[in-house]
Structure formats: C-alpha cells, structure tokens
Amino acid sequence: MSRAILARRIAIAVAALLVVVLGIVAVLAVTWVRRPFPVTEGEMKVPGLQGKVDVVRNDKGIPQIYADSSDDLFRAQGFVQAQDRFFEMDLRRHITSGRLSELVGEGGLETDRVIRTLGWRRVAEAELPTLKPETRRYLQAYSDGVNAYIHQQGTPSKMSLEYVVLGQKVPDYRVEDWTPADSLAWLKAMAWDLRGDYSDELMRARLAGTMSLAQINELYPPYPYDTNKPILSAQDWTPTTSNATNGSANSALPFAAPATTGKAAKVAEAVKDAKATDPELTAERSPAAEQAYAAVSRALRAVPVTVGRGDGIGSNSWVVGGSRTSTGKPLLANDPHLGVSIPGIWYQVGLHCRSVSSSCPFDVAGYSFAGLPGVVIGHNQSIGWGFTNLGPDVSDFFLEQVRGNTYLRDGKQEPLTMRTETIKIGGGGEQTITVRSTAHGPLLSDALDKVAEAGDSPLVNSRTSPGDYEVALQWTGIEVNQTADAIFGLNTAQNFQEFRAAAKDFAVPAQNLLYADTAGNIGYQAPGSIPIRSRYMEGAPGFWIRPGWVSSWDWKGKVPFDEMPWSYNPPEGFIVAANQAVTESGSPFLTTEWDYGFRSQRIRSLLEKNTKVTPATMSQIQGDVRSQFAPTLVKALLKVDLSGDDFTKQAQDLLRKWDYTMPVGASDAGAAAAYYNAVWSSLLDLTFDDELPKDLRADGGDQWMQAMTQLLTKPRSAWWDDKRTAGVAEGQSEILRKALVDARLDLTRELGKDPSDWQWGELHTLTLQHQVLGGDDVPGVVRALFNRGPIELPGGSAIVNANGWDASQGLDDASRSKAFKVDWAPSMRMVLDFSDLDRSRWVNQTGNSGHAFSDHYNDQSEAWAKNELYDWPFSRKAVDAAGGDELVLVPGTTS
C-alpha cells in the first residue's frame, strides 16, 4: 500500500478532527511547533548511564556520539534518535505490530488485520532470545535510552507536533515504553518492502486465466547477458564443487538457467511436466482459485510502504580498487533507491567508543534507521560497506484446499493452526480476528475477510466449501533469523574475513554487500536466507503459485552460505552491484527476476572510460541522467511516418538530435526528455494496459523496458493490438504512431503548444509527503505543516540518477501528468574515500530531524536534488574542527 493510500485511509478515519484543525492551525504554529525540538547544548541527565557521553551535532544536526562503554553508546543513541525522530519511530512500531488503529483510529484497521496475519511482531519477539547476548544487551540499552526520553518529555504533545493533530481524534493516546522487539519488528518491515518476486508471482497467476503462457512470458524476457554484464564475471567467482556439479550432497539445490536458455521455455516445460504428473494442478486456474488470488492482492495493498518498494526500484553501488583510482586506495559509492517521504528513511549518526577495545569495539559512522541501534550502511575505522537489494525469490504463494478449519495435505485433512488477535481502536472500540495458517504460512487470502473474525461461527471463510481454495504465504521474513547480529558484526568488522562472518547472519532482506578497506582491498558478498525449491521447479524459477496439498512441492531447506557468490580483489579492479544478475550461470538459485541492468551497465561504461577514477568522478556518476533504453525506443519512433501531421512531427523532431539525457531546466535535451517520457507513458497504455487489470498496469520500469525491447523485434506480437478498439487490429507501426500523437496532445495541454518550451523538470517533480498527514485528503493547511516541495528533479526510471515515476498513475485523469511525479528516488548518497576517511562525503534526502519547522527537517534536500554532497568528518579531530552544538549526557536517576 502506498503512502498516499495510507494517508487517505487515515484522513477518512480522522475526518472529525479536520474541521477542528482548521481552527487551531494558527495556535499550533505559535504554541506547539517548537515545543518538541531537542535540547542540543549544555548538560542533561539520562537515567542508566554509567559515564559521561558527548553528543556533537554539526551544522546539519548530525550527531557524533562518544562514550566509554557500548551500553552507554547505544543508550545515548536511543535517547538522541528519540529526540529527533520519535513520532516516526512510534508510527513504525505501531505499523509493524499491527497496532496502527491505536494511533490513528479506524483508518488503520485493514493494515492491522494483514500485519497481524503476517505476525511481524510475534516473530520479532521469538527472535530476541536467539540473538547473541551482546546484541540483546545493545538492544536493551537502546530501548532504555528511548524510554529516558519518553519519561523526560512526559506527554505526546511534547514529543511531536503530529500527536497534537492526531490527538483531536484520539485524545486519550498514551506513549508506551520502547522495547527491543520494537526495534526488531522494524527489520520485518524492511524485509517485506525489499523481498523479491512476490508481486510477479501473483501477477502471473492472475493473468494465466486470461491469456496464453507465451504472451505472459513476453512480459518477463530473459536477462540480456550479452549487453548488460552481471555483478561477477566467471573469473571473479567460481562455484564450489558441491554446487557446480549438482552432486548427491546437494541434489535438491536448484541452479540458475544458463544465459542461453530463456525463462519462457524452461517454465513452460516445468509446468507442462507438472500438470502431466499431477492433473489436479489444473485447479490452480479455477474461479475459486482466481478469487483467492484477488483476495491476496487486496491484502498486499493494505500493507503500508515503510522503506519503499516497487517495480523499477533498485539501488546503485560500486567499488573501485586503488589501482584504478586517483588516490591509490579504494573508493566506494552507494545510493539506495527507496520510497520518498518526509522525514526520509535514513538517520545519519556516528557511534564512537573513546577507547576502542574488545569491550567497547565501536568506531563507526553512517546511515541508521530511527528505532534501530547501530549503523546499517557506512564505515568504521578500517572498512566500509554499501547495500543494494539482491532481490532473491524468498517467498512463495501456496494454493491450499481448505475445508472448514482443515486443509488437504498429502491426501489427508490436516487442522489449520489458528490464533486470535484483538485490535484496539484509538478513540474507542476493538476488533477481534482469527488468523489461520497451514504448514506453509498464514492464509493471506482471508486476512481481510470479515467472516474470519473471531466470534463468528463457524470460523469458515465465505468462499470456502469442499474443494475451494485459499492462498498461504511462505516467506523467509517471518522466520526467526539473526539479522540483528549481522548489523553489529558489520559495524565492528576489521577485514574481509570478519565482514563475511558478519554477513553470514544477514538473512533478510538479502542484500548485495560491497566492501572496501583502508588496506586497499575490495570485495563482494551475497548473503541471505534463500529457499531451495524442489520437484518440478528444480533448475527453473519459483515464480508460479505452488500446490500446497502435495508436500513434494515444499521448500527443501536453504542455500548454504558457503554456496553464495562472493569475490575478493577481482582482476577487473572494480565491482558494480546495481540489482542486476549476480552471475551468468552456475550460481545458487537466487532468482530470475533481476533488474535488467540498464543502470549497472551505464555505471560500468562510465568507470571503464576513466583510467584513474577520482572521488569527484564517483559523485558525477551518481548524478548521471542518460537513459540506456531510450536509444532503442527512439530509433523505432523516428521510423514512424508522420507525413501530413506536421503538428506531431514538430514534437517528433525533438528526438532527432537528443543525447538521451533527462536534465531539469530549459534546454533542448529537457524538451526532448519531456516528450520522450510522455510517448513512453502512452505506449505502455496502448500495448499493455488494455489487457492488464487496473491494479497491474505497467509502471514503466526496467522490466517493461526490456519487454518493449523484445516486442520491437516482434511486430506480430498480440501485445501490439489495442483491445479497446473493437474490430481493429492496429499492429506495431500504428501503435507507435498513436503514442507519438497522444503524447503531443497531452504535453500541449500540460506545457503549451511550442515543444521547444517544454521542460522535463516541470513534469518530473517530487513532493516530500508526510506518511500520515501529507495526503491529498488532508486539508491543505495541515499538509503545509508537514509536506515540502515540489522539487524539480532530473533523471528517471532505470537511470543511474533514479528519480523514478510510475506510468500506471494518472491514466484515469484528464491528464497523464500525475504519472511523472517522483515516487522513488536515491534515499541518500555517499562516497567513501579510503585514502582518508575524513574526506568521505554524504547527503541525505531530507534532513536528520523529524520535527516540522526544525532547521534540519529538510535542510539537505536542495543539495540532494542537485547531486551535491557534504563533508563527512569522522575522526574526533575532524568532528571538532567542523564545530557545532555539544550536549553532554550524564548519569541521572529515574524520576
């Protein structure tokens, strides 16, 4: 569920407060806005501290924290992050615990029902005792620090302006103490947003009832290994003997298909063989099954976007060895592409033991999550690391034959596992639901079905009768894991061996981990909890919904960590990990749903042009706005004969000398970019959207670009017929012509008659929107308190400067301009310089503060939009030289 949908539901739920808000805004602006701002200078007492802690905040409000013990360090981190971001932390824990309704009222009910069904909080609580003792201690110290802040402030209105507004609907809201499970549950939300394949698996199942397998497979073409290189080449990494030979020890371990083998043929063969062996699998296409799939789609839309995910969303990271840099030491760049919001995803922080030792091993700085101790991405005194989403297939939907409160399993009716959950509603009332699960996981298809509520008798879904179906979700993210251990392991690792040892615990969300160190080494590791699939899908992707009533379709364990790809000081001298395929063949079974490599290959080509890469070059590459796909489409568009249509040809001519870049401001390139993207939006609608369900429309990301690349070589494909024009079969040339014509008309209405005046930046804007109080259904005076923007942005989807937009948006409006609004982007940027870590540079998407009207609410946004970076002092000498506010935290007693 997008932030806009979440805001709309909450706005409806708090409708009663909106009239009140209009009358109190003036009072809020004067009385309440500054009340929650943190104290950043002087001395404060914090219960539980054993010694003095220094908190030095620079001119951007970024704290560097200095302590004599690990416990004091994390206790101070909890206190400081709560000072700056507590409402965000509280909102996150309510979402991840399925308790959003307590905070916002009835508008949170659907979200709570689905998340209670998934059981994020239950898993977090089960996970806590399995973690290392020191990890549990750090989590508790962090919680103690947050609670010191909560008790110090006393009332919600002293913690954040949002509580004042929401308090009009939920006046009796009280803030609870923070717990370690609150921090761990946030990892589940992160894993949910960044898991791979689930949406495509469901999409395939829904389309299978309406179109041929061949036509579906044209939407998912093979990865273009011939043009876009994987992360690791054959010489970079060689599989171990056990996973290279498919020997008896790993006979169930599936492998990626060779580059020359298309997915379509492999999957078609697997499904054909499966149905020949199991005739009952034809039930997967029954009306009851399709109804269950639709119910799952509805449930998935009810889950809020927390980190941010969508087709086309990815991240950039690359590392260059000293032999190829101007400094003689490695350089590492990272910019994760996530959802956009205010405050942004990341909180910048430094965590420093005054004397680094085995008992206090931390000297680290980087990007953290408010609500989670430690640093997620950054560097310590010896090594640095970056993340991009690996995107493995870590979830499967299982179609289950349900009868009453039992389900079919190897010819027998097994009892469903059931539990009740009571959801409290802020402002009064509660709702009790029953969560039902099979051996594979919770029945997500009945998460929003009211007859599954406790108290109804019998507890049977209204769709369910003998032979009917539900859909269970099996996902590694709701299994107990030790990812929290991995974060602290990365923070303290001093070399590549220790880095890999920490990565072994990084279960979900699986990430591409890039590495560099001050000794001059670079490396890569793919970690994660990756299912081994068996039977019909051995050697083929796991992207079809599986029959739950036959146990041989179950997962058969997880890919061993030693079988996962890694590389250390590769001969090429650099590594690019931007969500593309990891290896060309012979790798462990990860997925076939890679990003198609437009960004990664552009990064590679820019690096290859530089014999000595400078830190400035690394930053320039992060801001690159050239489209790798545009030359393919433009070549086809310029072949379209527009004789007799000078009006459209005037716009078409913009593309003839275009350099395929997408800048902001008035320029020939900006005018061409505006027209090109409008044509692309129209083309997607004409080719794909006429046959796709409304909620599955093409968003225009890399998958659709690669699909179009293939379709341009297949003029007879069924996709070239617009099914909305009865009795007419357009064909490729007519669809391309119509896309050119429609885009010309759209932009004339939106930007004016003269194409030379068009600007991409006027269409491609970002409004930084508050997740709860920033939506269109909230009164403008309230939105103005919390939202910022719009900001004109360059770049676009599948471009290195990936300010992404969703082409499926705005199609029902009079104008398509809504489609070009930015809804994912680089969440931060950093460039690490291992010749001198004090010369590293960074920038955040918004700012470090979550308080509206704080100087640091969005004080980095302008620089971020321009691809500018700030100095990142790391050593105490450099931090002190940079200056700023200093707060001293000292031991205190509980009041």
Residue 676's contacts (CB-CB under 8 Å, 6 or more residues apart) are 630, 633, 634, 654, 655, 658
Compute the average pLDDT of residues 151-160: 96
Q: Choose the most confident range, by mean pLDDT, from 226-235, 373-382, 533-542.
A: 373-382
Q: Is pLDDT of 737 > 90?
A: yes
Phi, psi of 814 (to 5 degrees): -65, -25
Reported confidence tier of residue 578, pLDDT bands at 50, 70, 90: very high
Q: What is the pLDDT of residue 542?
A: 60
**Contact yes or no for 438/407 (Cβ under 8 A):** yes
Instruction: Kindly tell me if the per-residue pLDDT of 238 is higher than 80.
Output: no
The token duo for 762 is 């006027």
Residue from 4, 14, 187 nearest 103 by CA: 14
Q: What average pLDDT does the chain have?
A: 87
The tokens describing 55, both together, are: 């908190």
Average pLDDT on 305-321 reads 74
* Secondary structure of 592-630 as H, E, C letters: CCCCCCHHHHHHHHHHHCCCCECHHHHHHHHCCCECCCH
Distance between CA atoms of residues 312 and 511, nearest Å: 16
Tokens in use for 889?
A: 């935290």
pLDDT confidence tier of residue 15, bands split at 50, 70 and 90: very low
Residue 145 near residue 180, CB atoms below 8 Å: no
| Per-residue model confidence as pLDDT tens digits over 649-686 | 999 999 999 999 999 999 999 999 999 999 999 999 99
Predicted pLDDT at 194: 76
In terms of DSSP bridges, do strands 788-792 and 822-826 run parallel, antiparallel, or are they unpaired? unpaired
pLDDT of residue 688: 97
Give the Cα separation of 78 and 143 in Å (integer): 6
Are 542 and 396 spatial neighbours (Cβ–Cβ below 8 Å)? yes
pLDDT recorded at residue 818: 80
Q: What is the pLDDT of residue 259?
A: 31
R_g of the chain, CA atoms, integer Å: 27
CA proximity to 593, closest of 436, 389, 351 = 389
Query: What is the reported pLDDT for 93?
Result: 95
pLDDT (0 to 100) of residue 460 = 27
pLDDT of residue 824: 92
Q: What are phi and psi of 18, to 5 degrees?
A: -65, -40
Average pLDDT estimate for 286-293: 76
Are 750 and 763 within 8 A, CB to CB?
A: yes
Helix pair angle (630-638, 702-711), 10° resolution: 40
Note the pLDDT tens digit of each residue in 459-473: 223 344 344 789 999
Question: CA-CA distance, 498 to 480, in Å (whole number)?
Answer: 23
Q: Other CB atoms closer than 10 Å to residue 713's CB: what's the count?
A: 9
Q: Which amino acid, 792?
A: E
Pairwise CA distance, residues 819 & 314, whole Å: 19
666: left (phi over 0), alpha (psi -120 to 50) or beta: beta
Please give the model's pTM, rounded to 2 decimal places. Answer: 0.91
Name the token pair of 784: 């103005």
* DSSP states along 493-544: --SHHHHHHHHTT--SS-EEEEEEETTS-EEEE-----BPP-GGGTTS---S
Q: How do strand 804-805 and strand 822-826 relate by DSSP bridges?
A: antiparallel
Q: According to the model, what pLDDT value does residue 762 have?
A: 97
For residue 270, CA distances in Å to 538, 539, 540, 554 come to: 9, 9, 7, 16
Specify whether the CB–CB gap between 401 and 591 falls below 8 A. no
Question: What is the full DSSP assignment across 532-598?
Answer: PP-GGGTTS---S-EETT-GGGS---B--GGGS-EEES-TTSEEE-SSS-S-SSS-BS--S----SH
> In 3D, which of 697, 572, 580, 678 has the Cα closest to residue 628?
580
Instruction: Please report which confidence band the pLDDT of residue 210 belongs to, taking 50, 70 and 90 as the band edges.
Output: confident
| Dist. CA 542–CA 394, nearest whole Å | 9
- The answer to whether the CB of 481 falls within 8 A of the CB of 508 is yes
Give dist(CA 405, CA 534) in Å, integer. 28
pLDDT in tens, 497-528: 999 999 999 999 899 999 999 999 999 999 99
53 vs 65, 378, 488, 494, 892, CA distance in Å?
7, 22, 20, 25, 12
pLDDT in tens, 748-762: 999 999 999 999 999
Condensed to tens digits (0 to 9), the pLDDT of residues 791-841 reads 999 999 999 999 999 999 877 776 667 889 999 999 999 999 999 999 999
From residue 167, how far is each of 87, 162, 617, 643, 848 by CA, in Å? Answer: 13, 8, 49, 63, 25
Decide: helix, strand or coil at residue 762. helix
- Interatomic CA distance for residues 245 and 733, integer angstroms: 48
Write down the residue that tokens 């960044």 correspond to: 194
Judge whether 36 and 161 are in contact, CB under 8 Å: yes
- pLDDT surpassing 50 at residue 269: no
> Which residue type sits at 687?
T
Cis amide leading into 509 (omega within 30): yes
Q: Which pair of structure tokens corresponds to residue 271?
A: 């499904």
pLDDT at residue 589, rounded to an integer:
64
Question: Which pLDDT score, from 0 to 100, does residue 817 have?
Answer: 72
| Residues β-bridged to residue 366 | 349, 378
User: Letter for the amino acid at 290?
Assistant: E
More confidently predicted of 313 and 236: 236
Q: Which of 852, 799, 720, 829 is nearest to 343 (CA)?
A: 852
Cα 798 to Cα 222, 268, 763, distances in angstroms = 17, 29, 18
- Choice among 346-360, 390-404, 476-490, 542-556 with the minimum mean pLDDT: 542-556
What integer is the mean pLDDT of 166-188? Answer: 92
User: What's the pLDDT score for residue 285?
Assistant: 56
pLDDT per residue as tens digits for the range 704-731: 999 999 999 999 999 999 999 988 989 9
The Cβ of residue 174 has, within 10 Å, a number of other Cβ atoms equal to 8
pLDDT at residue number 288: 74
Q: Considering only CA atoms, which of 800, 830, 795, 847 is closest in space to residue 314?
A: 800
β-sheet bridge partners, residue 55: 65, 887
pLDDT at position 844? 98
Query: CA distances (Å), 752 to each of 605, 740, 744, 762, in order?
Result: 37, 16, 10, 12
CB contact at 8 A, 525 and 500: yes
Which amino acid, residue 216? I
When pLDDT is averaged across residues 338-346 and rounded to a whole number, the result is 94
Q: pLDDT of 684-695, one tens digit each?
A: 999 999 999 888
- How much is the pLDDT for 195? 67
Residue 595 has pLDDT above 50, yes or no: yes
Q: What are phi and psi of 418, to 5 degrees?
A: -130, 145
Q: How far apart are CA 618 and CA 831, in angstroms?
A: 7
Cβ neighbors of 189 (< 8 A, separation 6 or more) are 92, 95, 96, 120, 306, 307
The DSSP call for residue 422 is: E
pLDDT score recorded for residue 778: 84
SS3 content of the chain, % helix, strand, coil (to 5): 40, 20, 40
Both structure tokens of 414: 């097994």
The segment with the largest mean pLDDT, out of 553-557, 692-696, 739-743, is 739-743
Residue 266: pLDDT above 70? no
Q: Supply the pLDDT for residue 451.
A: 30
Q: What is the pLDDT of residue 391?
A: 86
Task: Give the separation between CA 867 and CA 706, rounded to whole angstroms.
Answer: 28
- Is the pLDDT confidence value at 208 over 90? no
Spatial CB neighbours of 272, under 8 Å, sequence gap ≥ 6: none
Distances from the Cα of 859 to the Cα of 60, 82, 182, angstroms: 7, 19, 29
> What is the CB-side half-sphere exposure of residue 167 using CA atoms within 13 A?
19
Taking only the tens place, the pLDDT of each residue in 415-443 is 999 999 999 999 889 999 999 999 999 99
Q: State the distance between the two ends of the chain, measured CA to CA, in whole angstroms.
A: 42
pLDDT for 698 beyond 90:
yes
Check pLDDT > 80 for residue 264: no
pLDDT level of residue 10 (50, 70, 90 thresholds): low
Using CA atoms, how far residue 178 sits from 45, 101, 133, 148, in Å, is 19, 18, 19, 10
* pLDDT tens-digit series, residues 223-233: 999 999 999 98
Greatest mean pLDDT among 1-10, 192-201, 847-856 lies in 847-856
Other CB atoms closer than 10 Å to residue 22's CB: what's the count? Answer: 13
| Pairing mode of beta strands 63-67, 788-792 | unpaired
CA-based nearest residue to 194, from 501, 546, 528: 528
| DSSP character at residue 765 | E
Q: How far apart are CA 526 and CA 509, in angstroms?
A: 11
Give the pLDDT score at 16. Answer: 42
| Averaged pLDDT for residues 194-210 | 77
CA 253 distance to own-chain centroid: 28
